[in-house]
A = this chain, B = another copy of it.
Amino acid sequence: MFIEMSNFQILHADSHSEARLGLLTTAHGEVETPVFMPVATAGAVKGITPQQLQKTGSELVLANTYHLLLRPGVDTVEKLGGLHKFMAWDGPILTDSGGYQVFSLSPLTKIDDDGVEFASHVDGAKIYLNAEIATEIQNRLGADIITCLDQCTPFPIDTPQLQKAVDRTILWAKRAKEAHTNPNQLLFAIAQGGINLELRTYCTSELVKTGYDGYAIGGLSVGEGHENMIKTVTHTTQLLPQDKPRYLMGVGTPADIIAAVKAGVDMFDCVLPTRNGRNAFAFAGNGPLRLRNNVHINDARPIEADCDCYCCRNFSRAALRHFFNSGEMLGPILVSLHNLTFYQRLMVRIRQAIKRNEFAEWAKRFDY
């Protein structure tokens, strides 16, 4: 398949903020941005079939290279015809670089300028990853958007360490670009630098000099707090080219997303809708519901009266409470479905507000 050079088009830029309505073109279809990507960690969004996922309004899905590398392994995914077929998801897929998981999930991580050796959190097997290997793995998995291996840093971190991680991230991104040869896959670089704005400037500018199909902002949502995060994001997006998509990794709450869209971010991923869904926490316009609470015991109302998801059209809060209290899988499934629908509806409203050139005003009224 031929992908034209411009895989991203700004359809409308908000006059009163940095928010943009965009169109991202991938080998598996077009996606309007700002877009929220549900997380299919090991090739499955937890508890949700691809068919149900599609009905939540989800179009672009994230899968984790690290998890797929460990299980079932790249050979298996490739032999089975690639990630789309394996996951039964015919829409666009993005794979992350593995960097975040290597540093957050693995014991025994050994890193130098070439790459990183880590122990699988599943069976302790030693695995080596560098820029070229991470790229090749993602080439073989076959997602539509792949990402350069980065060194993701924790929060807080001292400046020399952060500087070293930034240097490696820039170097690895260059090598990843050289290693990447598949024109059907967009390659995103990941900017690091913690909440150090000087290092963010350095990292981002260097990546932009090399040039990528899109730019991810990594190393945030790791404990730095909403204010620090938004400050860093606002600083970073200003350094990024207007005509490339910007992806804020692992973010976040509705309030985080709205603030980041205002700062010019186009793409998001987060486990919150599904993780919270499994824990009986339902997102709702009038404030979230904790469905195990006794207050719902005889409540015939759905989570949200005006929600058209399968859960809200069919199940009362009382029934959901009962499913959670009885350990029925249907509770986690239904509330995950609702939460994903809630998030995708939020993204629709964000896009509509940008289209109407009212985003900044709308965002103020939005009470999340």
A interface residues with partner B (beta carbon < 8 Å)? 42-44, 46-51, 67, 71-72, 75-76, 79-81, 85-88, 297-298, 300, 310, 314-316, 318-319, 321-323, 325-326, 328-330, 332-334
Give the residue name and chain of the B residue nearest to A278 (CB).
B329
Instruction: Assess the B46–A319 pair: CB atoms within 8 A.
Output: no
Instruction: Assess the A49–B86 pair: CB atoms within 8 A.
Output: no
- This chain's copy number in the assembly: 2
Instruction: Assess the A67–B329 pair: CB atoms within 8 A.
Output: no
Assembled-state Cα–Cα distance A42/B97 (Å): 42
How close is A160's CB to chain B, nearest CB, in angstroms? 38
Name the one of B51, B88, B316 contacting A80, with C-beta atoms under 8 angstroms: B316
Most buried by B among A43, A49, A325: A49
Instruction: Assess the A328–B44 pair: CB atoms within 8 A.
Output: yes
Instruction: Assess the A71–B325 pair: CB atoms within 8 A.
Output: yes
Given contacts A44-B330, A300-B81, A328-B42, contact A318 B72 (CB under 8 A): yes
How close is A45's CB to chain B, nearest CB, in angstroms? 8
Q: Which residues of B contact A79 (CB under 8 A)?
A: 298, 300, 318
Instruction: Assess the B322–A42 pair: CB atoms within 8 A.
Output: yes
Name the one of B51, B86, B326 contacting A42, with C-beta atoms under 8 angstroms: B326
- Beyond A67-B326, A88-B314, 4 additional pairs, beta carbon < 8 A: A44-B323, A46-B330, A76-B318, A329-B332
How close is A366's CB to chain B, nearest CB, in angstroms? 31
How close is A48's CB to chain B, nearest CB, in angstroms? 8
Given contacts A329-B332, A333-B47, contact A319 B86 (CB under 8 A): yes
Instruction: Assess the B300–A334 pair: CB atoms within 8 A.
Output: no
Assembled-state Cα–Cα distance A60/B314 (Å): 18
Q: Which residues of B contact A42 (CB under 8 A)?
A: 322-323, 326, 328
Assembled-state Cα–Cα distance A367/B193 (Å): 64
